[in-house]
Amino acid sequence: MEHIRSILGRRLRLGVIGGAPGSFIGEVHRIAARLDDTYELVCGVLSSNPQKALQAGKELGFPSDRLYKTVQQMLESEETRKDKIDALAIMTPNDTHFEYSMAALDKGFHVICDKPLTNTLEQARALVQKVRETDLVFCLTHNYTGYPLVRQAREMIVQKMLGDIRLVQVEYVQGGRAREVQVSPDMPRAWKYNPEKSGPSLVMGDIGTHAHHLLRFVTGLEVSQVSAEVGTIVPNRQVHDFAGALLRMSNGARGVFWATQAAAGVENSLSFRISGSSGSLEWCQEIPQRLQFFPLDGPAQVFTPNGPGILPAAAKVSRIAKGHPEGYLEGFANLYTEAAQAIGNAILKLPHRDYDFPGVVDGLKGLEFIEAALLSSRSGGSWVSTHQVP
């Protein structure tokens, strides 16, 4: 991939919303943006508290004329600058993704947004329409698709190395919310326990959309119908921490989906198993440098980044020599770098091309899946089509 600086003669200028110092995901975004030296972080509003926003901007070294108290102030000021930002990265509570994305697009800025896309299906559809109208780049950070061996798995399926896909299984299991806690406004990330901010289903918006998108990305298939149960496992909790579902895929394959944040002791276990007529693939995010392939008529194989049998789609996002693990930050950075390539081409008005990073339609598909799962759960697990949600 040609470096963005050789295309534009400079780094892309990036503004950020949210992710104040001490925020896990904020620091991840900032590291990912800088890892390939494709972006220059020039401004931001890192807190909804104006004074904290100013202080956070100073701590990150923003110029004095780019210290902003509010998002509106930043967007209005940046719009008129000769050296205005090229893109805006959004890493705020879920209920503001729609508002800030729409505002950035209205000002002509490309957008990189944390998942989920929005909190409602209506908002997601409106945002898809806005991106189409503006013709701006929109990257949704389903970052697990940036791992080299996830790209390897997808390419193997494209090349029919598994034959016809018949069975799919995806799960995202965490234990971070296994304890019963008394929610207070001053506790870290308290907003997640507020459905008005976190959305209609915390577990589905937080990690279920990751699992759903990973399945779609790897297989190239859509979930056509779902029979689900979504609810709460931990006593006295007001938000969802469990979701399980049977799936019917667009090609007739059958599947199983499971997501929870209440599995005591589990860390961050996102995994998939895909079976076709000629073999199966298995991958787990906690061992991301290992993809297992089980051919129907041959010995099991293990693929590693830049190891034997690696395909071009995986090799181009592998960063280091074989035998060295590549992980979470590198996968996240791959999405930022691919988005930078698209943004650079858009600035120079070069022809559009297909990119691997998730976009606004992927976010819409995630919201359709959430809505279908919730409808199914409310009706006792009846089968609901993702194309029939209101």
Mean pLDDT to the nearest integer, 42-52: 95
Domain enclosing residue 38, as ranges: 4-144+336-359
- Same domain membership, residue 137 and residue 33: yes
Amino acid, single-letter form, for residue 337: T
- Same domain membership, residue 107 and residue 55: yes
| Cβ proximity of 17 and 92 under 8 Å | yes
pLDDT in the model for residue 363: 97
- Same domain membership, residue 111 and residue 206: no
Give the Cα separation of 316 and 320 in Å (integer).
11
pLDDT in the model for residue 387: 85
Among 372, 119, 387, 367, smallest CA distance to 228 is for 372
- Judged on CB neighbours under 10 Å (0-12, 13-18, 19+), 116 is buried
pLDDT in the model for residue 22: 80
Residue 241 lies in a domain: yes
pLDDT in the model for residue 271: 98
Residue 189 predicted with pLDDT over 90: no
Measure Cα distances from 29 to 41, 96, 139, 143 in Å.
Answer: 11, 17, 12, 10
Task: Supply 96's token pair.
Answer: 């503001």
pLDDT tens per residue, range 127-182 = 999 999 999 999 999 999 999 999 999 999 999 999 999 999 999 999 999 999 88
Residue 75 lies in a domain: yes
- Same domain membership, residue 296 and residue 235: yes
Report the SS3 class of residue 317. Answer: coil
Q: Give percent of the chain above pLDDT 70.
A: 99
- Same domain membership, residue 33 and residue 110: yes
Amino acid, single-letter form, for residue 351: P
- Same domain membership, residue 303 and residue 277: yes
Please give the angle made by the CA atoms of 103, 108 and 112, to the nearest 5 degrees: 70
Residue 328 lies in a domain: no
Among 346, 364, 386, smallest CA distance to 129 is for 364
- Same domain membership, residue 377 and residue 238: yes
- Same domain membership, residue 201 and residue 123: no
Residue 375 lies in a domain: yes
What torsion, rounded to 10 degrees, do the Cα atoms 178, 182, 186, 190 define?
50
Give the Cα separation of 166 and 186 in Å (integer).
48
Residue 389 lies in a domain: no
CATH number of the structural domain spanning residue 156:
3.30.360.10
pLDDT in the model for residue 332: 96
Residue 310 lies in a domain: yes
Residue 326 lies in a domain: no
- Same domain membership, residue 129 and residue 12: yes
| Cβ proximity of 341 and 2 under 8 Å | yes
Residue 2 predicted with pLDDT over 70: no
- Phi and psi based region of residue 22 (left: phi greater than 0; alpha: psi -120 to 50; beta: remaining): left
| Residues paired with 228 in a beta bridge | 245
Give the Cα separation of 71 and 378 in Å (integer).
38
Please tell me the total count of domains within the chain.
2
pLDDT in the model for residue 277: 98
| 55-59, 119-123, 325-329, range with the lowest pLDDT | 325-329
Measure Cα distances from 357 to 24, 92, 142, 168, 363 in Å.
Answer: 22, 20, 8, 22, 12
- Same domain membership, residue 316 and residue 246: yes
pLDDT tens per residue, range 193-248 = 999 999 999 999 999 999 999 999 999 999 999 999 999 999 999 999 999 999 99
CATH number of the structural domain spanning residue 55:
3.40.50.720
- Same domain membership, residue 234 and residue 295: yes
pLDDT tens per residue, range 255-302 = 999 999 999 999 999 999 999 999 999 999 999 999 999 999 999 999
Residue 92 predicted with pLDDT over 90: yes
Q: What is the mean pLDDT of the chain?
A: 95
Mean pLDDT to the nearest integer, 30-39: 95
Residue 327 lies in a domain: no
- Same domain membership, residue 193 and residue 121: no
pLDDT in the model for residue 310: 94
Give the Cα separation of 390 and 373 in Å (integer).
13
**Per-residue DSSP letter, 322:** T
pLDDT tens per residue, range 337-353 = 999 999 999 999 887 77
